Amino acid sequence: MSTYETIEVEGSVPIKAWIRGVPLEEPAAKQLRNVARMPFVHGWVAAMPDVHWGIGATVGSVIPTVGAIIPAAVGVDIGCGMAAVQTTLTANDLPESLRDVRAAIERAVPHGRTPRGRDKGSWENPPAPALGEWARLKRRFDAITEKHRAIKNSNHVTQLGTLGTGNHFIEVCLDESDRVWFMLHSGSRGVGNKIGSYFIELAKKDMGHHVANLPDQDLAYLEEGAEHFADYVEAVGWAQDFALTNRRLMMDAVVRAVQSAPGIPPFQLGAVAVNCHHNYVARESHYGREVFVTRKGAVRAGRGDLGIIPGSMGARSYIVRGRGNPESFESCSHGAGRAMSRNEAKRRFTVEDHERMTAGVECRKDADVIDETPAAYKSIDAVMEAQKDLVEIVHTLKQVVCVKG
């Protein structure tokens, strides 16, 4: 039985929204209606239970299109997603104090950002694993930037294998059997941002005066067969490859870091490993048509697909298996979803509130992470309940260490 609600939009395709028991704010609903009015949407727009306002298109939306892509719907954090790996460690193998484990991870993976001068979130001298992967990625990047030189001068190899800022994180978690997992969240970093921003502006320029007819100028699109369409598909695909590689390099570094931390016994990786996007576009077949599916804050949940749905830094996260629901275009939520803006969270909560909400988690507990405090997000329990027909829960994880950018 489907659990979505249908929102009819006059003169356009409908919206199927998995929002029972979770709020849908009017700014996000307006964005969904704007997207539904685009003439090339295939069938309907699907809204996930973590849906909330975003730039260009709603975070938590799935947009199938025929013959066109909206670069701002894909966004600038191209290929952002999650990775998780099970280990043979158990809770009893962890030391009583996890401060050294957190410190080892923080030393191993650059994170955060320094606005001026030496950026602590980038490599000064990229290590061998990053250089090796960049050698594989560089040829395609050079071909893209030969035509689009504005992208060339971006942070690429210096940020390959680094975390970033905002809601990006690395965690050590325990599952329902007290087995230890490592989990992380990041994307294509500065080079993906440069690619996304560049093609968003290019789409607006290509549309010329027609952009004024759009319900939102950030919905400017590139049409298949037009001058820059194939270039965008190539560039966004490359950025998604960069993002997958970035997560894999970080996970390798996290494993080595924990192996070297005091008090940790020898361990191996378990049978389960996941690396999935939740901000991306892909060619897929749905309802008899080959379409471009843009998932902006959504995970592919085809039948049997493994995915990751994280809660906030004080809540449970889930390893899930897709049910292949065709009405969501085989998709599910990418997390809990923000309940308020970052500025509102900073106004509303104190460091003491944050300390209380992250009790038992070895993490930063200072004013600079208030915008990521658990209460700034929707209830992950309500989000999971709203999408029972999209995924089944395979593992339930609870973090004991959280590294934030």
What region does 112 belong to: left with phi over 0, alpha with psi -120 to 50, or beta?
A: left
Which has the closest alpha carbon to 40: 289, 241, 218, 257? 289
For CA atoms 167, 357, 392, 245, give the dihedral sign: positive
For 23, other C-beta atoms within 10 Å of its C-beta total 14
Across 354-392, b (16+ Cβ under 10 Å) vs e yields: beebbeebbbbbeeebbbbbbbbbbbbebbbebbebbbe
Which residue has tokens 């001026």? 116
* Residue 105 token pair: 């991870």
What kind and span of H or E run contains 396?
strand 391-404
H-helix segments, 10-169: 26-36, 71-74, 99-108, 128-147
Active site annotation includes 334: yes
Catalytic residue among 42, 334, 354, 395: 334
Tokens representing residue 139 in the block: 């040829």
Q: Which residues are annotated as catalytic?
A: 334
